[in-house]
């Protein structure tokens, strides 16, 4: 699965969208691009998680793969 990192809960709501529609659009687009890149079908599960000040923390950035 993929974790979408956000810094505040209100941003989490924006990413998820009404009834999950925005997250569905993001996931569908990402899955399509990954399938084109790999030339195979993929299953992609998205999770949105709040990490306070993750952009300013070297430890959190490293944990998230940056």
Domain with 44, as residue range(s), is 2-63
Separation of CA 53 from chain center: 16
Closest CA to 27 of 15, 37, 38: 15
- Mean pLDDT across 4-22: 93
Cα separations (Å) of 49 from 1, 9, 16, 65? Answer: 12, 9, 11, 14
pLDDT attached to residue 60: 80
pTM for this prediction: 0.74
pLDDT attached to residue 52: 85
pLDDT attached to residue 26: 96
Split into its structural domains, the chain has a count of: 1
Tell me the pLDDT tens digit for each residue of 22-61.
Answer: 999 999 999 999 999 999 999 999 999 998 877 778 888 7
Supply the CATH number for residue 52's domain: 3.30.300.20
């Amino acid at each position: 699965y993929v974790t979408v990192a956000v810094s505040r809960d209100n941003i989490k709501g924006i990413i998820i969208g009404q009834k999950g529609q925005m997250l569905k659009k993001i996931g569908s687009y990402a899955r399509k691009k990954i399938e084109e890149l790999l030339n195979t079908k993929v299953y992609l599960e998205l999770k949105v998680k709040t990490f306070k000040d993750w952009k300013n923390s070297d430890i959190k950035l490293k944990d998230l793969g940056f």
